[in-house]
C-alpha cells in the first residue's frame, strides 16, 4: 500500500508551496516533489502595453525582490532603446540592488531560517518564528531586524518608497542622489557592520552542530551559474554570466543577456507552476544548475571588498576539491553576500561622481527586441521582450531564479526525505527538516496554497487503483 505525506503549506517561505512525499509498500520514500501553486501570467498580459511601463509593472511580480525586476526590466528596455545609461545612474542602481540583497537576505536568514538554526529543527512549532528568536536571543533577532531595515531604508532614501519604488526607469533613474541622503546612508553603515559581524560570529559557532543536515540538505554535484565581472569578482547588476561544473571547470562564459536564450532552456513538469531551467547543450534534466548565493560564491574568484574576501577564503575551505556542494551552505554564503553588500555600498558612495546630475538617457525604439539580466538575491533573473515600431510589447519571457533552482530543490527534498523518513515513520520535526531544505534556497514563490479546506498534514493510503482506502490526519 503506497502512501503520500503532504506538507501544505510549506511555512517560513517567501510564498506558498507544498511538498508531497511518496512512500512505497515498504514505507520507504520513492519520490518527493516541491509544488509551486500560483501562476499570474505576466508574460501574456504585458502584451500591448508600452515598453516603458514594463519596469514598474514587472516589479509587481514580487514584493520581496522588486528591485531586481526593475533593473532586469529596465536593462531589457535599454537594449530596445539602444542606449548606455550614465555612469552615475549605473552606480545608483548598483547600490539599490545591493540594498535589496541585504534586506532580502536578512529576511531569509533571520526571519525565516534562524528559528530552525537557533531554536532547533525539532523545537516547538508554536514558538519557532522570529518572535521566538527575539525572545531567546534578543541581540540576534534585533540584528536581523536592523539589517533588513538598513536595506529597506536605503531603498526608501533612493527611490522614495520601500516597496515598488518608481525611481528606476528605462534609461536610468528619475532623480539624482542628494548629498544629505548620501550622508544619512554613510551614517547607517557602522551599525550594519556590527550586526553582520555578530551574525557571522554566531553562525560559525553553531554551523558545525548541523553536520548531519549539511550531509543531506541538497548535497550533490551540479552546475552553477551567476554573474561575474571581467576580473572574476562577484557581480549583481552588470557583468556577464558564467556556468561552472561540479569540479569548478568553466562550462560557458561571458554569456550576455541577448545570448541567454541560446544557452538556457525551460522545461515544464506537470506538478508545478514554476518551470525548470536547464543548460541547453546538456539537455533536461542533466543540464540543471543552481543559482543564488552558493552558486555565486562558487563561481567568483574574489568579492572585491576586503572583509568579504576574508570570508570567501574561509567559505572555499568548506570543500577540499571544487565547488561547495551542500545547499545548507547557502546560509553562510548569504551572510557573506550581506557583508559584501555593506562594504560595496560604502565604496559606491565614495565615487566622486555619485552626486552627478546626469542620471537618465532618453531614446525611442531603436531595436525591436531586447533582453536584460541581474542577480536577484536568490539568483539570476532574465527579462526578454519584443516590441512593435510603436514600442508596444508583442512578446515577453522571464526566467526567474527559483525556476533555475527548481530541479535542485526537488532533488534536495527527495534526498532529505529519503534520509529522514524510515519505515513510513516521521515526526513534525522530520517534516520541518524537509521544509528547511527548501528554505536554504530562499525560493521566491508568489502565493496561493492548495487544499486549504483540508487538514494540511495528512497521509493518504492509496490502493494500486488510485483509490484512497485510508487517511490519517493529525
Q: Which of residues 436-465 bind other proteins (CB under 8 A)?
A: 446-453, 455-457
> Distance between CA atoms of 394 and 116, rounded to whole angstroms?
46
Q: Which is nearer to other proteins, 312 or 371 (CB)?
A: 371
Q: Which is nearer to other proteins, 306 or 453 (CB)?
A: 453
CB atoms within 10 A of CB 368: 13
Q: Which is nearer to other proteins, 162 or 418 (CB)?
A: 162
Q: Smallest distance from the beta carbon of 6 to other proteins, in angstroms?
A: 9
DSSP line for 75-122: HHHHHHHT----HHHHHHHHHHHHHHHHHHHHIIIIIIIHIIIII-TT
**Using the rule CB under 8 A, is 198 a contact of other proteins?**
no
Stretch binding other proteins (CB under 8 A), from 21-29, 180-188, 219-227, 276-284: 276-284
**Terminus-to-terminus CA distance in the chain, angstroms?**
20
**Using the rule CB under 8 A, is 33 a contact of other proteins?**
yes
Q: How many residues form the binding site for other proteins (CB under 8 A)?
A: 75
Between residue 347 and residue 366, which ones bind other proteins under the rule CB under 8 A? Answer: none
Q: Which is nearer to other proteins, 143 or 324 (CB)?
A: 143
Per-residue binding letters, 216-255, with other proteins (x by CB under 8 A): ----------------------------------------
Q: Choose, by CB under 8 A, the member of 94, 128, 331, 378 that binds other proteins.
A: 128
- The phi, psi pair for 171, rounded to 5°, reads 105, -15
Per-residue binding letters, 47-66, with other proteins (x by CB under 8 A): ----------x--xxxxx-x
Q: Choose, by CB under 8 A, the member of 37, 91, 114, 325 that binds other proteins.
A: 37
Query: How is the beta sheet containing 17-23 ordered, strand by strand?
Result: 29-36, 17-23, 2-10, 457-462, 468-473
Stretch binding other proteins (CB under 8 A), from 37-45, 226-234, 318-326, 410-418: 37-45
> Distance between CA atoms of 86 and 242, rounded to whole angstroms?
26
> Distance between CA atoms of 332 and 318, rounded to whole angstroms?
11
Q: Which is nearer to other proteins, 9 or 176 (CB)?
A: 9
* CA dist list (Å): 83 to 265, 278, 322, 396: 28, 30, 39, 20
Q: Smallest distance from the beta carbon of 274 to other proteins, in angstroms?
A: 9
Rg (CA), the chain: 22
Q: Which of 202, 168, 161 is nearest to 73 (CA)?
A: 168
Q: Are 57 and 41 in contact (CB under 8 A)?
A: no
Q: Smallest distance from the beta carbon of 362 to other proteins, in angstroms?
A: 25
Q: Choose, by CB under 8 A, the member of 122, 269, 346, 369 that binds other proteins.
A: 269
Q: Which of 221, 290, 216 is nearest to 29 (CA)?
A: 216
**Using the rule CB under 8 A, is 421 a contact of other proteins?**
no
Per-residue binding letters, 390-409, with other proteins (x by CB under 8 A): -------x------------
Element (H, E) at 312: helix 306-316
Q: Choose, by CB under 8 A, the member of 207, 267, 307, 361 that binds other proteins.
A: 267
Instruction: Return all residues near 450 (Cβ < 8 A) that are at least 6 apart.
Output: 8, 9, 18, 35, 37
Between residue 138 and residue 177, which ones bind other proteins under the rule CB under 8 A? Answer: 142, 145-146, 148-149, 152, 162-164
Signed CA dihedral, 70, 75, 77, 83: sign only: positive
Q: Choose, by CB under 8 A, the member of 275, 290, 344, 378 that binds other proteins.
A: 275
**Using the rule CB under 8 A, is 342 a contact of other proteins?**
no
Amino acid at each position: 500500500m503506497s502512501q503520500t505525506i503532504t506538507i501544505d503549506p510549506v511555512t517560513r517561505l517567501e510564498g506558498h508551496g507544498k511538498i508531497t512525499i511518496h512512500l512505497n509498500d515498504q514505507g520507504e520514500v520513492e519520490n518527493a516533489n516541491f509544488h509551486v501553486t500560483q501562476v499570474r501570467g505576466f508574460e501574456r498580459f504585458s502584451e500591448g502595453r508600452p515598453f516603458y511601463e514594463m519596469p514598474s509593472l514587472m516589479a509587481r511580480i514580487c514584493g520581496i525582490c522588486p528591485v531586481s525586476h526593475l533593473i532586469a526590466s529596465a536593462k531589457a528596455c535599454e537594449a530596445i532603446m539602444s542606449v548606455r545609461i550614465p555612469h552615475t545612474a549605473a552606480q545608483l542602481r548598483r547600490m539599490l540592488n545591493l540594498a535589496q540583497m541585504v534586506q532580502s537576505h536578512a529576511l531569509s536568514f533571520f526571519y525565516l531560517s534562524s528559528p530552525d538554526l537557533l531554536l532547533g529543527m525539532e523545537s516547538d512549532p508554536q514558538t519557532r518564528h522570529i518572535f521566538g528568536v527575539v525572545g531567546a536571543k534578543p541581540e540576534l533577532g534585533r540584528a536581523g531586524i536592523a539589517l533588513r531595515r538598513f536595506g529597506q531604508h536605503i531603498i526608501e532614501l533612493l527611490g522614495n518608497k520601500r516597496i515598488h519604488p518608481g525611481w528606476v526607469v528605462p534609461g536610468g533613474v528619475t532623480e539624482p542622489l542628494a548629498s544629505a541622503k548620501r550622508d544619512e546612508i554613510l551614517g547607517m553603515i557602522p551599525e550594519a557592520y556590527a550586526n553582520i559581524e555578530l551574525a557571522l560570529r554566531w553562525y560559525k559557532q553553531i554551523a558545525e552542530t548541523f553536520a548531519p543536515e549539511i550531509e543531506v540538505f541538497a548535497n550533490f554535484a551540479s552546475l552553477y551559474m551567476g554573474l561575474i565581472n571581467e576580473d572574476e569578482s562577484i557581480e549583481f547588476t552588470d557583468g556577464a554570466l558564467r556556468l561552472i561544473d561540479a569540479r569548478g571547470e568553466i562550462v560557458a562564459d561571458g554569456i550576455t543577456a541577448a545570448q541567454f536564450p541560446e544557452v538556457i532552456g525551460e522545461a515544464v513538469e506537470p506538478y508545478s507552476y514554476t518551470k525548470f531551467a536547464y543548460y541547453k547543450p546538456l539537455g533536461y534534466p542533466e543540464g540543471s544548475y543552481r543559482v543564488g548565493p552558493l552558486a555565486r560564491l562558487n563561481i567568483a574568484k574574489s568579492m572585491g571588498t576586503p572583509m568579504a574576501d576574508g570570508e570567501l577564503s574561509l567559505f572555499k575551505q568548506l570543500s577540499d576539491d571544487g565547488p561547495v556542494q551542500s545547499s545548507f551552505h547557502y546560509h553562510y554564503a548569504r551572510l557573506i553576500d550581506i557583508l559584501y553588500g555593506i562594504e560595496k555600498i560604502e565604496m559606491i558612495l565614495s565615487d566622486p561622481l555619485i552626486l552627478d546630475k546626469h542620471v537618465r538617457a532618453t531614446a525611442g525604439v531603436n531595436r525591436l527586441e531586447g533582453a536584460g539580466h541581474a542577480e536577484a538575491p536568490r539568483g539570476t533573473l532574465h527579462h526578454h521582450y519584443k516590441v512593435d515600431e510603436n514600442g508596444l510589447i508583442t512578446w515577453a519571457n522571464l526566467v526567474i531564479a527559483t525556476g533555475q533552482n527548481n530541479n535542485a530543490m526537488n532533488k534536495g527534498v527527495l534526498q532529505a526525505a529519503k534520509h529522514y523518513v524510515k519505515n513510513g515513520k516521521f515526526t513534525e520535526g522530520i517534516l520541518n527538516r524537509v521544509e528547511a531544505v527548501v528554505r536554504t534556497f530562499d525560493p521566491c514563490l508568489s502565493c496561493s496554497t492548495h487544499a486549504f479546506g483540508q487538514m494540511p498534514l495528512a497521509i493518504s493510503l492509496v490502493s494500486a487503483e488510485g483509490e484512497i482506502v485510508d487517511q490519517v490526519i493529525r
